[in-house]
Chain A
Amino acid sequence: KAGVTQTPRYLIKTRGQQVTLSCSPISGHRSVSWYQQTPGQGLQFLFEYFSETQRNKGNFPGRFSGRQFSNSRSEMNVSTLELGDSALYLCASSLGRINTDTQYFGPGTRLTVL
């Protein structure tokens, strides 16, 4: 089975711009979660989507948003980028049936905001 894929792998943006990151889950997985990883804050949960609905949300400002399509692929969008948004963004997919379903992580998208 192909693993979780994320595109693009690297992005450079400037402050004030917006960005869209994409995540394709493992075939058959209906849940996609997004995490932000920074040296200072570590791994932090952004949100989780299941069957095109946001099911859980972390403590991030409204500039961070996401969506999920009918094929379970997910995108996350960050508007009005700030320097502090520079991070590795990870997505993880799972079957989504129970909370302890294994989450499979993608390689991440490294976003640099200049």
Chain B
Amino acid sequence: AQRVTQPEKLLSVFKGAPVELKCNYSYSGSPELFWYVQYSRQRLQLLLRHISRESIKGFTADLNKGETSFHLKKPFAQEEDSAMYYCALNFTGRRALTFGSGTRLQVQP
């Protein structure tokens, strides 16, 4: 069955430090992968998707099919990056996101 694993519940870093939020998935097909973010008292919103290969707010994520990973990275964390981050997988041909359990990122001053 498809599964998304985010091994860290909490990741605490200092401002300016690099950030890597881990995401591993299990799915035999070609995955469509996303990162969603939820800032305090705000709605869940899309941060980026793998097919766009884009960089949003300095974050990037590379799909590694060999390691079945889609880790989210940012070279220099900012305090405003503090939020809950969810990795999500969509089956090919199906609109039904499977979410990981989420990682809370705390960026300390």
In whole angstroms, what is the CA distance A35 to B102 when docked? 15
CB-CB under 8 A for A99 and B45, given A42-B100, A42-B101, A42-B102: no
Q: How large is the interface on A (under 10, 10 to 19, 20 to 34, 35 or more residues)?
A: 20 to 34
Instruction: Look across to chain B and name the residue whose beta carbon is closest to the beta carbon of A55.
Output: B95
Asked if B46 contacts A43 (CB within 8 A), the reply is no
Q: Is there a chain A Cβ closer than 8 Å to B98's Cβ?
A: yes
Select one of A4, A33, A105 contacting B96, CB under 8 A: A33
Asked if B51 contacts A100 (CB within 8 A), the reply is yes
Q: How large is the interface on B (under 10, 10 to 19, 20 to 34, 35 or more residues)?
A: 20 to 34
Asked if B44 contacts A105 (CB within 8 A), the reply is yes
Contacts of B86 in A (CB 8 A): 43
Contacts of B51 in A (CB 8 A): 100
Contacts of A105 in B (CB 8 A): 43-45
CB-CB under 8 A for A58 and B43, given A100-B51, A100-B90: no
Min Cβ gap B24→A in Å is 15
Contacts of A42 in B (CB 8 A): 99-102
In whole angstroms, what is the CA distance A94 to B45 when docked? 12
Min Cβ gap B41→A in Å is 10
Contacts of B17 in A (CB 8 A): none
Min Cβ gap A114→B in Å is 26
Write out, one digit per residue, whether chain A residues 92-109 have a CB within 8 A of any chain B CB (1) or not (0): 001010011011111110
CB-CB under 8 A for A99 and B46, given A42-B100, A45-B98, A48-B96: no
Min Cβ gap A88→B in Å is 10
On B, residues with C-beta under 8 Å from A are 32, 43-46, 49, 51, 86, 90, 92-102
